[in-house]
Chain A
Amino acid sequence: MAAPLSVQVEFGGGAELLFDGVKKHQVTLPGQEEPWDIRNLLVWIKKNLLKERPELFIRGDSVRPGILVLVNDADWELLGELDYQLQDQDSILFISTLHGG
């Protein structure tokens, strides 16, 4: 049983184009049976925030390869990736690397 959470979801590196160009989203996640981990956050994002072309952001139950995920400015690799349990006031940033430089 997970309590409601208030988190900031941010998109950068071009990923924001899939979200109406909006980079920062202050989000309240409702209380629910399952825990709020990144896996469930992605499901929520796909359902509630993603405006177009989900295949450019999500593959399977994770992000498309080439999209970096930072939680409070730390690589999600260090935190358990999809299994990381979200805390209130966390900031989750998705940066796309999939463009020329």
Chain B
Amino acid sequence: MPAPQCASCHKARAALRRPRSGQALCTNCFCAAFEAEVLHTVVAGRLLPPGAVVAVGASGGKDSTVLAHVLRELAPRLGISLHLVAVDEGIGGYRDAALAAVRRQAARWELPLTVVAYAELFGGWTMDAVARSTAGSGRSRSCCTFCGVLRRRALEEGARRVGATHVVTGHNADDMAETVLMNFLRGDAGRLARGGGLGSPGEGGALPRCRPLQLASQKEVVLYAHFRRLDYFSEECVYAPEAFRGHARDLLKLLEAARPSAVLDLVHSAERLALAPAARPPPPGACSRCGALASRALCQACALLDGLNRGRPRLAIGKGRRGLDEEGPPGPREPQPSGPPTSEPIPGF
């Protein structure tokens, strides 16, 4: 059967049916609607005020490519300036190719690009080194746990270097829904409590962060990139098959096939969640080493790096962080027990 006519302009042939409204739109009307929704998300949420210097987390992948392209289109209207920040985790054969895509984009869009490398920020710990260090510990998926924490820290550092006032990342609705599932499956009350909002206001001195594509379904992000002929890097990280997120993703895809609105419904449920008093996390303090927001003596990044440097990579992973509690009691700080000397002090960031 031939495709129906576009419900918006009534002139062109429809190219897709929007998942939420069921409306059939042609490529131009769809792209315009997609851009208008991102604009609305940003304006209604007051996410990026006029004058903002916005660091865009750019991985070369489909989401950050679409994010950067759309924000660039909207920048004059919003009165913001953009700066691409790419994180080099040090994953051989994967990240180099992805960074090449980011460099092409920076050149094509005439946007400044800054690259921050794990090796430089974290005392030589590339993801390949972390993967080797965690390989023998029986929990093969733990290297991705490190990457999630360290990448956020690296992005923050890159944003500071370029004088940014805000950080944006390309997380889409499917990513958010996967995260909600993961947090439930791991019993992570703290993250569930924080997970709902559209933006992090930036506690503890951190830059405000937001995700302008948070309400866009992954399918629409990919179709937008296709219709606008955007060049992006589409290979999977070599470590991704080991990540726990893959299980959440598979489950979400099955759920979506049965009930298409499940993706956005999950995100909305998380937004409306209220935790029982006993489950609420204590108000966070500051990391004793670097000053960043932390719910324990050391922030997650410092704790993970500590574990790596002591040759005990599992130290800070898992519920309750049993390893950390072994090292010293909460309360007045005691000197840490001596272990193998670290080769460099952890840089202050």
Contacts and interface: CB of A to CB of B under 8 A. Distances in A.
Contacts of B59: 100-101
B223 A99 contact: no
B27 interface: yes
Contact of A75 (B2, B16, B61, B64): B16
B234 A78 contact: no
Nearest to A62: B257
Q: What's the interface size class on A, roughly?
A: 20 to 34
A35 interface: no
Which A-B residue pairs are the 9 nearest by beta carbons?
Answer: A101-B63, A101-B61, A75-B16, A65-B253, A14-B234, A101-B62, A99-B236, A78-B3, A74-B3
A14 to B, nearest CB: 4
Contacts of B128: none
A49 to B, nearest CB: 19
A61 interface: no
Interface in A54-91: 65-66, 68, 70, 73-75, 77-80, 84
B254 A65 contact: yes
Given A14-B236, A96-B234, A100-B59, A68 B17 contact: no
A61 B24 CA distance: 26
7 contacts: A74-B13, A77-B16, A78-B24, A79-B2, A100-B61, A101-B64, A101-B66
A98 interface: yes
Contacts, number: 80
A84 B13 CA distance: 16
Nearest to B62: A101
B17 A13 contact: no
B256 A68 contact: no
A68 B3 contact: no
Given A13-B62, A101-B64, A74 B226 contact: no
A73 B240 contact: no
A100 B144 CA distance: 13
Interface in A6-21: 12-14, 17
B6 to A, nearest CB: 11
A1 to B, nearest CB: 21
B249 interface: yes
Nearest to B19: A77
A74 B27 CA distance: 9
Given A70-B15, A101-B64, 19 more contacts: A12-B226, A14-B236, A65-B253, A65-B254, A65-B256, A68-B222, A74-B15, A75-B16, A78-B14, A78-B24, A79-B2, A96-B234, A97-B218, A98-B236, A99-B61, A99-B235, A100-B237, A101-B63, A101-B172
A2 to B, nearest CB: 17
Contacts of B64: 101
Interface of A: 12-14, 17, 65-66, 68, 70, 73-75, 77-80, 84, 93, 95-101
A24 to B, nearest CB: 15
Nearest to B246: A98
Contacts of A70: 15, 226
Contact of A73 (B27, B63, B237, B256): B27
A4 to B, nearest CB: 23
B223 A68 contact: yes
B170 interface: yes
Contacts of A17: 235
A13 B235 CA distance: 8
Interface in B204-233: 218-219, 221-223, 226-227, 232
Contacts of B278: none
Contacts of A75: 15-17, 223
Contact of B221 (A66, A96, A101): A101
Contacts of B222: 13, 68, 95, 97
